[in-house]
Amino acid sequence: MRTGWLTHPAMLDHNTGPGHPERAERIRAIIEAVHQAGLMNPLVPIEVPPARDEDILAVHTREYLQRLEAACRRGDRYIDVPDSAICVDSYRAAQLAVGAALSACDAVLAGQVDNAFCAIRPPGHHCEADRSMGFCLLNNVAIAARYLQRRHGLQRVLILDWDVHHGNGTQHIFERDPTVFYCSLHEHPAYRYPGTGYAWERGEGPGAGTTLNLPMPPNSGDADYQQALEARFLPEARRFAPDFILLLAGFDSHRDDPLATQAVTQAGFDWMGWQLKQLAQQVCAGRLVSLLEGGYNLDVLRTCVVSHLRILMQDP
């Protein structure tokens, strides 16, 4: 299969400062590992332009976008919360992270590639429509979902988020929308930031039933994640029958990640990746774009992303 590869060197210029876990070395480690594994040649490189304001504004308020751009231009140390560190180059990096997601969707729908992986930063799933949270400046996956609907006319988009933290921003953006199904597997809200994502949060109004939270107790491992996907996510995903699948591939639920207390291994991520790829083949002609989200152990990122890419590249 042809797998698209999207990243941009300017994303490394997003300087979060000494000791911040979301750092440029994350992308450098992934790129180095992909080269060492000999995967660059079979991957299909796709150009990454910055996202246009009109596409970002389909999700974020104009006031927030202007405030973010101004804060970066001034060289502020952070936006909204100290976790969301910024510098003068952060706004362009955020535009490029979104741009990679949108270009990946374009390439899959044009038949240029079968699926794609975006090695991007800053991450996005905590970002609300009108404010930053938890390292996230723009909600990459939410903007991509709206782009698929507005620019390409798709009706139903599914987002699976296996980052160890609940994607509060993504849930809140779509919780009243029956056309976007959002499922999050994350460490139980009582133990982990941002404290949202309880199982009873299933969407609101017309969107009731198209939010699925699968909170995992501390030290949950491969078998626990497998059971949650097989018993809950996969049946509901098949019933939803999406036209396109977006994956938030956070590798911070790995047993060696410093920011959580989960026990998933590379084998567990591989199993989930295969299940999602097979689901895409069954329900939406294989249309799948994977976006890097969290993951803060560089060795874990090296091995898990390379293995994830190999899964995307293999024939079903």
The answer, yes or no, to whether the previous bond of 18 is cis (omega within 30 of 0) is no
Are 287 and 154 contacting, i.e. CB atoms less than 8 angstroms apart? no
- Span 21-39, pLDDT tens digits: 999 999 999 999 999 999 9
- Residues 71-98 have pLDDT tens digits of 999 999 999 999 999 999 999 999 999 9
Provide the whole-model pTM. Answer: 0.98
- Cβ proximity of 248 and 167 under 8 Å: yes
Q: For residue 265, what are the domain limits? A: 3-313
CATH of the domain at 142: 3.40.800.20
Residues of the chain with pLDDT under 50: none
Q: pLDDT tens for residues 191-208? A: 999 999 999 999 999 999
pLDDT of residue 244: 99
Nearest-angstrom CA–CA distance, 289 and 159: 10
Which is the catalytic residue, given 60, 125, 126, 166? 126
Quote the number of domains for the chain.
1
Active site residue 126: yes
